[in-house]
Amino acid sequence: MPGPEFATLRDQVAALRAETISATELLELTIARIDKFDDKVNAVVVRDFDRARAAAKRADAALARGDRAPLLGVPVAVKESFNVAGLPTTWGFPDAEGWQPAEDAALVTRVKAAGGVVIGKTNVPRALHDWQSYNDIYGTTNNPWDLTRSPGGSSGGSSAALAAGYVSLALGSDIGGSLRVPAHFCGIFAHKPSRTLLPGRGNTPPRTPALPAPSDLAVVGPMTRSAADLTLATLLLAGPDEVEAVAYKLALAPPRSAELENFRVLVIDTHPLLPTSTVIRDGFDRIARGLEKAGATVARSSALLPDLTLTANTYLTLLMSQFGADASVDTHRALQVADIPPNADTPEAVIRRAFVASHGDWVRADRVRIDLADKWRRLFTEFDVVLCPISPTPAFPHDHSDMDTRTIDIDGTTYPYNYHLVWASIATLIGLPATAAPIGRSPEGLPYGMQIIGPYLEDHTTLRFAELIEQEFGGFTPPPGFA
């Protein structure tokens, strides 16, 4: 096995089964590494080491009996937003500090049932609403590649824990790129599953009932340092919530191909609403040329591609109407009388209008979504995967100023901060699977990645393509100073 700190999930499982390392020894290495590095990274902000040690001892006893549960003895980190009985769930809200749920989230239950050892919870931004991970309770999480930069958000604590070599598996969630952006910023893998594939019960704001009701747009999913580990974890955690399992069973289609040479690939590296930095475009050119050399069929444009501006605006309407539902009456009144030209269709105008959207506005946007979903189905008769950026730049420096005044710097030109949502919208609006995979380094040495988007419920296809990308072009490497 490679050094345990950066071993793959599969290598850790194999070593535990071969008894070349015990669950207790692996956990103590994990704890020692957190003690060594987390003062400067601040990824694991809720630590559950005593219960983890007890779980590791039970895992060792089970391994000695010949138990072969899929994650038996493997340390796992959980995003702070997931309920874990006996640990606080705050979502970064100061008034929720100390609140504890009565039961585990569905994914945490599945991790534990598979033998995983939960070591604690990872940091998030307040309300999970940022591409950074900081809050007034737990402070700021730093990117192991450059401590002055964001590790992404809202699953930034999980991505930083993986990049720093604490664990081989972490849980996250995504509604606006919250799995994909942290993976992109930290050079790891993550899978935003098809919307209904993994149960989100218990990834719930504090003091909110954890009910088995699928959320619109939002998903939960795994994060790892290798693509094959991502496939393993996704399939282990997938399947309907117990309420629906009385009638439904998971039966995913196999990947559309097992080899790169048989894939039909559409590469999109520009967006009508937001430019892509030179370093990201250069990376996509390199990947496209490499895919062609490997025998894949590669296109750089297609008349079948649905309107990306319409996609972004529809997504923003549905997303912001969710946030607006909990806004105060005064906020609604102020926005309703705000001077927003009726025909303005910039993201800023769409966001402000959507915040006070009526139910009728939502229904009309949902009808557009249904039409766009049909267009994506047509596109996927001609292509197997669509490759596109996750964010227009690599990780940016920490910026804790007012979010409404923040900007993105793209090759020296600034754009509104919320424009980060446009690349996330493509897969999220329709609920498509999107696998994030690292593909390169910037001149400053920062990692960056791409999202591999596939047909709805064909998660095997995007996961397999990520495995092939890793084999052909390379994947995760440890950050300097952490190896």
| The amino acid at 164 | A
The three-class DSSP label of residue 329 is: helix
Cβ neighbours for 156, distance < 8 A, ≥ 6 positions apart: 122, 123, 124, 125, 132, 133, 141, 150, 182, 185, 186
With 0-12 CB in 10 A as exposed, 13-18 as middle and 19+ as buried, what is 477?
middle
Measured CA to CA in angstroms, residue 280 lies from 284, 368, 386, 388, 449 at distances of 6, 30, 16, 10, 8
Rounded CA separation 254/460 (Å): 6
- Evaluate whether 212 touches 182 at the Cβ level (below 8 Å): no
Helix, coil or strand: residue 282: helix
Q: Pick from 158, 292, 310: which is nearest to 220 by CA?
A: 158
What is the SS3 assignment for 230? Answer: helix
Please confirm, yes or no, whether 178 is among the known catalytic residues.
Answer: yes
Q: Rounded to the nearest 5°, which phi and psi values hold at 56?
A: -65, -40
For residue 79, indicate whether it is catalytic.
yes
Annotated catalytic residue: which of 154, 155, 194, 277?
Answer: 154
Question: 280: which residues sit within 8 A by CB, 6+ positions away?
Answer: 269, 389, 392, 393, 394, 448
Given 22, 81, 150, 178, which residue is catalytic? 178
Catalytic residue among 79, 168, 173, 425: 79
Nearest-angstrom CA–CA distance, 41 and 145: 10
Alpha helices in 132-202 (DSSP H): 156-163, 180-186
Cα 463 to Cα 193: distance, rounded to the nearest angstrom: 10
H-helix segments, 42-125: 49-64, 106-113
| Residue 358 is among the residues annotated as catalytic for this protein | no
Whether the CB-CB separation of 183 and 190 falls below 8 Å is answered with yes
- Taking the C-alpha atoms of residue 256 and residue 315, their distance in angstroms, rounded to an integer, is 28
Check: CB of residue 385 under 8 Å from CB of residue 465. yes
Q: Which of 255, 253, 254 is nearest to 263 (CA)?
A: 255
Instruction: Say if residues 196 and 459 touch (Cβ distance below 8 Å).
Output: no
Are 464 and 255 in contact by the 8 Å Cβ rule? The answer is yes
Residue 310 dihedral angles phi and psi, to the nearest 5°: -60, -40
Active site residues: 79, 154, 178
